[in-house]
Structure 1
């Protein structure tokens, strides 16, 4: 067992909270190991004046951290799993996925209590095509505007009156102790989460046996089956935030999992949903099967049209 572990992390307060959480758990389990954080500002954090889909997708939040792993500058990287692309870089692996925090999207507003209370043509902020498509499908009258930056930056834009409401991941708000800002939760039937939403991912080099062993206790096997299905779906439909799609998988007891997913046009006018279930052992097949079902229903044409833009 090594005596020192370096964790690469983004510099946002949420990323640092997650990295410190993992570091603390490692210290509890292995007091003999020194754990250090190595904060990094990623390209995704630096470019805030354009929608994420225009500058390369959510992989921009993890690329620099993965380079540090591959070059040996860090032993672990801690991510919000929903920020990860479907395919990992060669030589890297998910060493652990944690228990899932609240997976729902949260409605945050200074004036209104819920989506239903928003007036006609209210301005709603989100950085996610997934959220945008589902919002506009539910409320086509809304004006959805891009909202970039860390959690605090997004809340500041709301407080300064640029938006009537913003939609954020409940998990991030709760981890930062900002529950009080949540006016209401959006049911997962109305806003299907992103693959991996609410789960922290711990990434490491595939050949670093000592580090993999040191963090194995953090791995949640039940959630891992759900994540396998979610990421298999993600890979099948394109694997990035450029695709207005989502999937949410839950354990259903007796070694079974149940999934619901969607693919939609960015304006929400076309939306294809599906549900399916399988045994834990068939997790990847479940995700792929559900993706294929939605692609055949009309999702494939949506993705073709998006590639032309």
Structure 2
């Protein structure tokens, strides 16, 4: 469904401009469309890409896919494939039909914030650990979409940085959760298991660190994308409804607080306690190398964000 809507939008732009060159599309910036036509094309693109991000309420496929996918599939889906949706917004919508996107942006930002809060609340009650991490991905990508909807350079930077940060953080969390599912035989929080603090301290550290980064704590990669998106929504581009975007910024901040709440819940049930049975194997050498690499990247991006602070591409037109 999402790809079909995108294809219709692509064919409409190609027919209007006479080319499929994305650079030319960006240079024309929707000049070949009337205002209603540009709004329709932007709507097709945004709706199609919203399936892929996914944006609430088109998100329902993601938790179920993650819960049934193998660990490697979950890592690739969360760390790489979901980014194609937000990249499509940056590459196909903002520069190609900027006026249409500016009209749709407040609605898109509203859906993004609803998704942030909705996913946070779902995480508070979710009993499957893989689905819980999937729900958290919906919330984090909501911050990315909110940054884009703000229409500012700060919002674009926050969105691009948040894409990279979420890719690394989600990869770390799914490595840990995949290992725990293998050891427990299930990803359900109700499965009898030893506390990671007692039985598998290396996995326990990786889980604590990944959740801390996912919360957006300062000094870790997740902070800059979330804080930047909230900042951009607080001061949106001219022409955006400022009061409405301030409310969106407040809602996103509430969603960030929910992340701390559900992370504490997971740590209480999985990491805390003095249970030592049934025993599980701790991370081995290969797993430790993977964990160490991801931890270094997360800390590096958090402490020195300029190494990945991406200037908006020359073909992006903010409006």
**Structure with greater strand share of residues:** 1
Calculate the TM-score normalised by the size of structure 1.
0.28
Greater gyration radius: 2
**Structure with greater helix share of residues:** 2
Calculate the TM-score normalised by the size of structure 2.
0.28
